[in-house]
Amino acid sequence: MRGISEERLIICKKISKAISKENPDIESFFDELINECEELNDWKPIDDNTPKDKPILVYAPGRDGLDYLITTCLWHDAAGFCIDMIREPTHWQELPPLPKVATMTPTALEIIKQYLIDNDYDGLCNDDLECGCEIADLAPCCGDFSECAPGYKFTESNGKWIMRARKDALERSG
């Protein structure tokens, strides 16, 4: 049950009972729901049982002209649950679950780049066109790279590099 209070269920039970007098099960149905209710904002006093191994939400009443404060807090051995020099937290509760964040769908180039990295390639190449690019500058041609294959980078004797689909490509051609 998300966000419905015990008080609201009791009201719903009374309304349903008044509307549906011929259904005796409705009252027991609401009684079961009410028994399952948990306090949604269950502030507990800070005491020896307050968790000290994870962040929690704390409440500190206002003081010296400052408003109350609700913030996350973590236990510190030297200072306890400290939030500022004036206010001291008196109550706590568990942090709510973090929101589900939508992840971006990777582009084709991002998927290819990750594949190349995961499989120890240096970039892409098309041996027929004598074309190659490094992972850091993948598909700079912005053209059709559908004929490209994963490649390995080789440095030639003149200092220029080339990309080939096979590690033994230079050894066989040389």
DSSP state, residue 137: G
**pLDDT given for residue 1 in this prediction:** 38
Residue with tokens 């059709």: 144
pTM score of the predicted model: 0.40
Res 168 pLDDT > 80: no
3-state DSSP: the chain helix, strand, coil percent, rounded to 5?
Answer: 25, 20, 50
Tokens of 2: 């998300």
Q: How many CB atoms lie within 10 A of CB 163?
A: 24
Which residue, among 76, 79, 78, 84, has the nearest Cα to 53 in the 3D structure?
Answer: 76
How far is Cα 173 from Cα 164, in angstroms, rounded to an integer?
Answer: 11
50 HSE (CA, 13 A, CB side): 22
Q: How many CB atoms lie within 10 A of CB 109?
A: 12
Q: Convert the pLDDT of each residue in 110-132 to its tens digit.
A: 899 999 999 999 999 988 888 88
**pLDDT given for residue 79 in this prediction:** 79
Q: Convert the pLDDT of each residue in 23-76 to its tens digit.
A: 667 777 767 776 766 656 688 999 998 998 888 999 999 988 889 999 888 888
Res 108 pLDDT > 90: no
